[in-house]
Amino acid sequence: MPSIGYDKILVLDFGSQYSHLIARRIRELRVYCELHPCTMSMERICSFAPKGIILSGGPASVYEQGAPTVDPGIWDLGVPILGICYGFQLMMHQLGGEVARGTRREYGHAQLEIERSDPLFAGLGPNSTVWMSHGDKVYRIPHTFRRLAVTHNSEYAAIVDPERHLYGIQFHPEVTHTPDGMQILDNFVSLICRCNHNWTMGSFVEEAVRRIRDRVGEGKVIGAVSGGVDSTVAAVLVSRAIDDRFTAIFVDHGLLRLNEAEQVVSRLRNRLGIRLVAVDASERFLSRLQGITEPEQKRKIIGNVFIEVFEEEARKLGEVDFLMQGTLYPDVIESTPFRGPSAKIKSHHNVEGLPERMNLKLIEPLRELFKDEVRAVGKELGLDDDLIYRQPFPGPGLGVRCLGHLTRERLDILRHADAIYIDEIRKAGLYREIGQAFAVLLPVRSVGVMGDDRTYEEVIALRAVHTRDYMTADWVPLPYELLRIVSNRIINEVRGVNRVVYDISSKPPSTIEWE
């Protein structure tokens, strides 16, 4: 959590798939925001000292037994509150309004008719397109509230208690399907909560360096670095904070891309001047992964071996106190059940699955940031664009892109196919326009014909997505000519592959990675 120099917005999560987007949008307004479960205690809420609170949507019905709720003391905190969808209905349910199942659902676009002037809708015209997703509706509001807007199916699409600055809206301003959504959120944060827009990456760097120094004291830190933007930015921050008491450790787990180990060592040592220990632990990783095909098991094994290696290297360096990791906020959101009713999607080796015996304390300077914020920090630190805009690569590496059994032969096939794919994307000038692109080796074989011979060989899937925050993503409609070139090169140049397919699924319902 940042120092008290920043104004803060608190988002309480009731299980909506859009909850993370609310926090992300507030951050885009340069106001610090955190997402916490709706079960957050009043003591912790008061300690967080928010300038405003947003209650997310959720899939439950407020009148059902066991529905997620919030401490009713929240209404008397004296800070503005914005309830969105379920959060709005919960506000009504607890404050004396009436919520019940609607005669019909309202899902998709709706026309919002604004009836009353209010700061929440400053800058908007009398009508606005909004995104609805609800089956219940508010039929009656408490006497202290006033109606602000309606839709065809919602008599109370937006309301306000002007004395307590309690707002409720039935639609979702955080999604791109609500064109004026950012303006509404900005109005709430700026005009109603009166937040200062001082959450910048320049201020974050100063704050992060100070916090690292305060926490580490005279201790020593080893850093888990992969060569990607996350771990590299984290390493530069820690190095700037404590200088030669930081040692970066790069582990070659045998699951890297073509020539990646050599490139990473050269960049960190020669270009960035970071004190680096490089460890080739590929044999250990691959032997532990032999025969393992279940993705969660793969991830946890890789995470455990990572920590083993770090502990060993720590002993060689003498007394070490901290382990640095490049954990990001989306990793935390996806990996842990911290979001109350929201579902855990998958584990990340850098935020869970760590052995209890680990003797090092974690230091995660980027834990509060989304990916594009990390890139902005990299620019503040003076890192070059090739590194800053390097596409993400998962900690488990090709271990979660080589589906099924992991062998050196199958990993080499995937390495070469992936290198061809990325090479052609760069030649087409599309690399910076794509959030993430990679090849996947499928656990199936395909019949084919090469020359006059029948083949029965591996299948490569290609993946490319557009994304703003890596929490949601849309597949990229790559040009057919590019796909043709990539497919031909892979089949002709990578021995053992006779078929290439393209993944056209978005997140959700899929994840970006296949495992």
> Tell me: the pLDDT tens digits for 64-89?
888 999 999 999 999 999 999 999 99
Catalytic position from the list 93, 172, 253, 348? 172
Element (H, E) at 205: helix 201-216
Query: What pLDDT does residue 180 have?
Result: 94
Strand order of the β-sheet with 81-84 is 32-37, 8-13, 52-55, 81-84, 166-169, 158-161, 146-150, 98-114, 127-140
Residue 197 has phi, psi (to 5 degrees) of -95, 70
Q: What is the pLDDT of residues 230-262, one digit of tens each?
A: 999 999 999 999 988 999 999 999 999 999 999
| Closest to 8 in 3D by CA, of 31, 40, 25 | 31
Beta strands in 157-275 (DSSP E): 158-161, 166-169, 221-225, 246-252
Query: What pLDDT does residue 102 have?
Result: 73
Quote the tokens at residue 347.
Answer: 């584990």
Query: What pLDDT does residue 179 have?
Result: 92
User: Is 165 an annotated catalytic residue?
Assistant: no
One DSSP character per residue, 393-410 reads --TTGGGGTB-S---HHH
pTM: 0.68
- Do residues 221 and 236 make contact, with C-beta atoms less than 8 angstroms apart? no
Least confident of 46-55, 382-391, 478-487: 382-391
Query: What pLDDT does residue 351 have?
Result: 40
User: Is 174 an annotated catalytic residue?
Assistant: yes
Catalytic position from the list 33, 85, 193, 195? 85
Other C-beta atoms closer than 10 Å to the C-beta of 105 total 14
Query: What pLDDT does residue 512 have?
Result: 92
User: Is 85 an annotated catalytic residue?
Assistant: yes
Most confident of 20-29, 184-193, 271-280: 184-193
Terminal CA-to-CA distance of the chain, rounded, Å?
Answer: 31
CA–centroid distance for 264 within its chain? 24
Q: What is the pLDDT of residues 265-305, one digit of tens each?
A: 988 888 888 899 999 999 999 999 999 999 999 999 998 89
| DSSP code of residue 451 | T
Query: What pLDDT does residue 464 have?
Result: 97
Q: What is the pLDDT of residues 205-236, one digit of tens each?
A: 988 899 999 999 999 998 888 888 999 999 99
Q: Where are the alpha helices (DSSP H) in 267-338?
A: 282-289, 295-316, 329-335
Catalytic position from the list 28, 34, 106, 174? 174
- Do residues 292 and 406 make contact, with C-beta atoms less than 8 angstroms apart? yes
Question: Band of the pLDDT at 26, cuts 50, 70, 90?
Answer: very high
